[in-house]
Amino acid sequence: MMKDQLRAVSGQIIAIGVALLMGAIIILMVGESPVRVFMTLLRGAFGDQEKIAGTLLQTTPILICGVAACIGLRGGMFNVGIEGQLFLGGFAAAWVGFAMPLPAGIHTLAALALAVVAGAAWVAIPAYFRARYNTNEVVSTILSNYVAVLLTSYFTIFLFKRPGGWSETPPILPTSYLPEIFTFSRLNWGLVIGLMLAVGAALVFRYTKWGYSVTMVGSAPKFAEYGGVNVKRQGFMVLLLSGAVGGLAGGVETLGVHHRFMEGFAPGFGFDGLIAALLANGSPVATIFTALFFGALRNGSLLLEVDTSASREIITVIQALIILSVSAQVLVRKRGDSRAGERRWKF
Amino acid sequence: MKRALKSLFLAGTMLAVSFGSAAAQAKVSVAAISGYFAQGFGVSIVNGLNKAKTDFGIDLKLVDTGNRALDYQQQFENLAKGKQYDLIFVMGWELVDSLQKVSAEYPDQRFVFIDGVLDNPKMIYANFAEEQGSFVAGALAGMIEAKGTAFDKIGDGKAIGFVGGRDIPVIRNFLGGYEQGAKYAAPDVKVNSVFAGTFDDPAKGSELAQALYGQGSDIVYNVAGPTGEGVMQASAAVDKYSIGVDIDMCGSAPGNVLASMLKRGDIAVYTLIKDEVEGRKITAGTRTFDLASGGVEVKVCDDIAPKIPADVTAKLDEIKKGILDGKIVIAKAK
């Protein structure tokens, strides 16, 4: 058990190392020094307390989306629609924030609650079709992303636009803010929510009967069914839960950082979260670290562009290389020693 | 002896280094940040910045914001924190919120907001008199339309069209100028206007433009960014006329583009940097680039220019003169 885990972790680290090495070659090819680029990345991510807080700020949405993805992966469900759930959750939270005056505290909770409901409701459609007609949830959740992003654009531009500004809703009321942790950064309690979710999910998977049955359905659905689990119903619930967490990610962004909903405000976090979860082998606790890694890359890249002549997009390239080397690693490993978890994401 | 030489050499190098950095400090250093440097108006700004770099040897840093709202504020902070930039040019309304926050955090940093005016008296604004250029464009379109079937590709001569991106103040200002210009030069021509609701959807632009052409507008003015590319394509598809905006769009649909209303972002940034380099330090407030300073102009496409009747050209010159000496007053949309 321990040895297996060690092996999985070292595999991922080697994969990241290979990706960074290939990234370094590309940096050389564009005429920058890889050492300078990586040092600037480090400085941009962890250079001072504000930079560290900035990295954690970038980590928050990736972490929450990552936990959403983990829940799906554990239960054998590939929720690629986290992006869309995040957008709808973000909009729902903003709507509670600007349209419903409530006392402080309760207001934030109500907005987060609606974000959760919105995310779950959005995934309920693909989840229903998955359970009822065995539709491939990968395709239906991917497609639902486009609808979600455009739907929130429609809400923002045509129904709730703040008069005279950019395409955004009116600002939310201060009573609904998710408070900031420090005075010097926009970092907010969303990070704590993310950490609690990750640890909570890990505990549920490890210590509860329901969590165990989810893992069983994910790794050996026939066995689970034989053992008396209603596999379809369970798959539906897993997707719903995953979607709910995806919606929460959007709510946290809106209430914690932007304090309003902007059209197209956060593209790509859903996918970053999914990658973080895959890199973490579907483990919520490991996702904390992979999300932190991606958050640091992103925050560092913002300084990279200012302080060197390399483009910020080099990070996107490195991320893509990581995905490639991680998936290559899965293929390279012999089927025999593939832990049950890994076969889940072959579809 | 050797030691003494060595220390002399060291002192010399240090002196050279300190001289070097003193020279660098005198050099004007400029950063520009936007998500639109690859398209239309942004390209024009980059051209102006590069020209200033060649002519004045300034330090120039271009930063692309990407499209994640979470990043903007950190990007502004990274630029402002080092205090190495004399001026930071900013373009894009989606950046306003972060800009305001960082500007409050770094009150000594001079930010130049391009293409708009915000309610912050500490910033510098490079604004364009788009209503003046649009007035000329409206007058041109109105007069050509009024020629009716006498002019190639024109129908019954009753209406001209307008496709806006989003319904925001800047775009309203374009529409206002256009309508006033048409009314001034061709009172009988009606202006039909629509807003696409987005700057990023060429298919929608094409659809809306085709609807306008279908309703009898023979000339459509595109003020819609990438959405407007669809307007230009639609004019070629139905063989009517379009008017481009921000940059020279005559190449988008040769033969079907009447003119382009140029907003010379390059002239604006170049002029500002020139002032700064020559010691006229730029201070907070609004600088408007209009017809008089060449900041806006209507460029009739080369393939169309010979076809424009002499009376139209004469009237246009008269209108431009009228705007310059203040005889024609154009109301700004608020």
- Which chain A residues touch B31 with a CB distance below 8 Å? 306
Q: Is B83 part of the contact surface with chain A (CB cutoff 8 Å)?
A: no
**Structural domain spans, chain B:** 26-128+266-289, 130-262+296-324
Among A266, A298, A306, the residue with its CB nearest the CB of B63 is A306
**Structural domain spans, chain A:** 56-308
The CATH class for the domain spanning B130-262+296-324 reads alpha beta
Task: In whole angstroms, give the CA distance from residue B143 to residue B137.
Answer: 10
Q: What is the mean pLDDT of residues B188-210?
A: 92
The CATH class for the domain spanning A56-308 reads mainly alpha
Task: In whole angstroms, give the CA distance from residue A320 to residue B202.
Answer: 29
pLDDT at B141: 96
- Which of A10-24, B12-26, B33-47 is the least confident region? B12-26
Contact state of B77 with A50 under an 8 Å Cβ cutoff: yes
pLDDT in tens, A2-56: 667 777 778 778 888 888 899 999 999 988 899 999 999 999 999 999 999 999 9
Q: Is B309 part of the contact surface with chain A (CB cutoff 8 Å)?
A: no
Contact state of A311 with B64 under an 8 Å Cβ cutoff: yes
Contact state of A166 with B168 under an 8 Å Cβ cutoff: yes
Q: How far is CA B15 from CA B3, B6, B12, B27, in A?
A: 18, 14, 5, 19
Contact state of B78 with A306 under an 8 Å Cβ cutoff: yes
Please tell me the distance in Å from A330's CA to the nearest CA on chain B.
31
Among A58, A266, A302, the residue with its CB nearest the CB of B69 is A266
For chain A (length 347 residues), average pLDDT per consecutive 10? 71 85 91 91 93 96 97 93 96 96 95 97 96 92 94 89 77 94 92 97 94 89 87 93 97 95 87 91 93 94 89 87 79 52 44
pLDDT band of B303, cuts 50, 70, 90: very high
Query: A238-249 in b/e burial notation, b at 16+ Cβ within 10 A?
Result: bbbbbbbbbbbb
Same fold, B26-128+266-289 and B130-262+296-324: yes
- Which chain B residues touch A165 with a CB distance below 8 Å? 93, 96, 168
pLDDT at A336: 45
Residue B195's nearest CA partner among B185, B183, B186, B204 is B204
pLDDT at A331: 63
Q: What percent of chain B has pLDDT over 70?
A: 92
**ipTM of this predicted complex?**
0.84
Indicate the residue type of A27.
I
- Which chain B residues touch A267 with a CB distance below 8 Å? 67-68
Task: Report whether pLDDT(B271) > 60.
Answer: yes
The CATH class for the domain spanning B26-128+266-289 reads alpha beta
Q: What percent of chain B has pLDDT over 90?
A: 74
Q: What is the mean pLDDT of chain A?
A: 89
Contact state of A166 with B71 under an 8 Å Cβ cutoff: no
| H or E segment to which residue B218 belongs | strand B217-223
